[in-house]
Amino acid sequence: MNSSFSSLINRAVSLFVLPQTRWQLLILAGLLVVAWTLAWLTRRLFQRRAQGPRPGRRFGMESLYRAFFWLCAAALIVPVRQIARHFMSTALLDIALVPVVGIGLIYLAFFLLRRVFGRDRRTRRLLVVSEGITTIVVWIGVLLRVLGLDDDVLRWSSNVRIAIGQTHFTLLAVAQAMLSVSVLLVLALWIGIAFEDRIMRSPKLDANLKVFSVRIGRGVFVLTAIVMSLSMVGIDLTVLGVFSGALGVGLGFGLQKIASNYVSGFIVLADRSLRIGDTISVGGIQGRVTQIRRRYTVVRSLDGIETLIPNEKLITDVVQNHSSYLTRGYAKLSVRVAYTSNLELALQLLARAGRNVHRVCADPLPAAYLVEFGSDGALLELAFWIEDAATGTTGVRSDVNRNVWRLFGENGITVPPAQRDVRLVGQPMPAPGSVALAT
């Protein structure tokens, strides 16, 4: 390898001394400057026309701008090389054309990947890192090819062996496996996204079945891609038995709760006991189911607060499903009245206060109840249902309370203030209407 490398260095130095090589370097530099100028002008033009593009779109356009520079350089090199062949040797231009086209195609491929998978922030970061690593690897491969060291590197990687148990793999086989897994995994995720879009647009499936189908489909696609890629490089799948056993032990001990939540999530989606949009009560939390994720379910309460409930609780705990009311929410108001007031009239007025209020349901009608006899007065309670409770209940409660205050005031129903009787031990009881002075 050292002799071939030194001979290549001597050949490169001798070629650089030739005037034809200098002319080719000058032509190549000029073409790259022209390509960069065209790419810069194109980028400025697109940025002026795009009025506030979305972050995902801007993320994808970065790779497109880079691809345009390299592909534009390739488009300039090809005709110039054909013309220059009539006057000089074009060996340097021939060598430069291969990496220029390769890098351009790589950036174009990552542009497509960014447009498809650049929906969340974590995926964007992964794509940026993958793009950088791929570019570096390609440049290293081009450099090895130019220096004539590619065959030596391939032979060396074929001789390096990695032992996993009783099975031995070469470094080249591991690299091929990683490449095939990456390509097939990206293809599987791409198919999964297309499958998800198709399922989510289907009007014949309910929300639970859509989510369940998407998760099962993605899992099948990814698993199939991994198995196919490992089989393509000749890896015996029985080697994965050790890993499967270790994973089973981990699930049995440390990951038991996590696995239980994952399985419970699939059970909830499969048996359709809960649906996205149902109004439920579980563990003192009442709200509307907005998402059923793999590990937890998101419940939005009547005041707009979202609570993450582990899926296991939806299987093991008692869950009340108010799905017949869907968008409705249950509300209660409490008020105390003096014992000197007419309780029957107070109950009638309390029920009337909840009627004819915007967003208060007429079916069932608001109902008033006598809850208890307390030290400050009789406790009454008004129960009613609110339409579109997810949009808020404070305004509706305020309107009902104002009606209660107005009706009670018009009909002489007294709301007593909090009061306490204080007795001094060892002192005689004061006469009614008198004031006792402590000495």
pLDDT tier for residue 121 given thresholds of 50, 70 and 90: low
List the single range of 10-14, 367-371, 395-399, 413-417 with lowest mean pLDDT: 10-14
Q: Taking 70 as the threshold, does the pLDDT of residue 254 lie above it?
A: no
Q: How big is the chain by its Cα radius of gyration, in Å?
A: 38
β-pair partners for 280: 287, 321
The highest-level CATH class for domain 329-410 is: alpha beta
User: Which CATH number is associated with domain 259-321?
Assistant: 2.30.30.60
Mean pLDDT over 31-35 rounds to: 84
Q: Above 60 in pLDDT, residue 432?
A: no
- 287: number of Cβ within 10 Å: 24
Q: Residue 399 in contact with residue 340, Cβ under 8 Å?
A: no
* pLDDT beyond 60 at 417: yes
Element (H, E) at 321: strand 319-321
Query: At 437, is the pLDDT very low, low, confident or very high (cuts 50, 70, 90)?
Result: very low
Confidence band of 325 (pLDDT split at 50, 70, 90): very low
Terminal Cα-to-Cα distance of the chain (whole angstroms): 112
User: Checking phi first, is residue 102 left (phi over 0); if not, alpha (psi -120 to 50) or beta?
Assistant: alpha
Q: What is the predicted pLDDT for the residue at 380? A: 94
**Could you state, in order of their start, the residue ranges of all structural domains in the chain?**
2-159, 259-321, 329-410
CB-CB contact of 33 with 69 (8 Å): no
- Between CA 375 and CA 359 the distance in angstroms is 34
Tokens of residue 121, six digits: 């922030």
**Confidence at 119, pLDDT banded by 50, 70, 90:** low
71-95 pLDDT per residue, tens: 888 888 888 888 877 777 777 777 7
364 preceded by cis ω (within 30°)? yes
* Nearest Cα to Cα of residue 384 among 370, 400, 372, 398: 400
Task: Indicate whether 24 pLDDT > 50.
Answer: yes
Q: pLDDT higher for 38 or 328?
A: 38
The residue ranking higher by pLDDT, 99 or 307, is 307
Whole-prediction pTM: 0.44
* pLDDT at 402 (0 to 100): 92
CA–CA gap between residue 302 and residue 304 (Å, rounded) = 5
DSSP per-residue letters across 123-165: HHHHHHHHHHHHHHHHHHHHHHHHHT-HHHHHHHHHH-EEEET
Check pLDDT > 50 for residue 439.
no
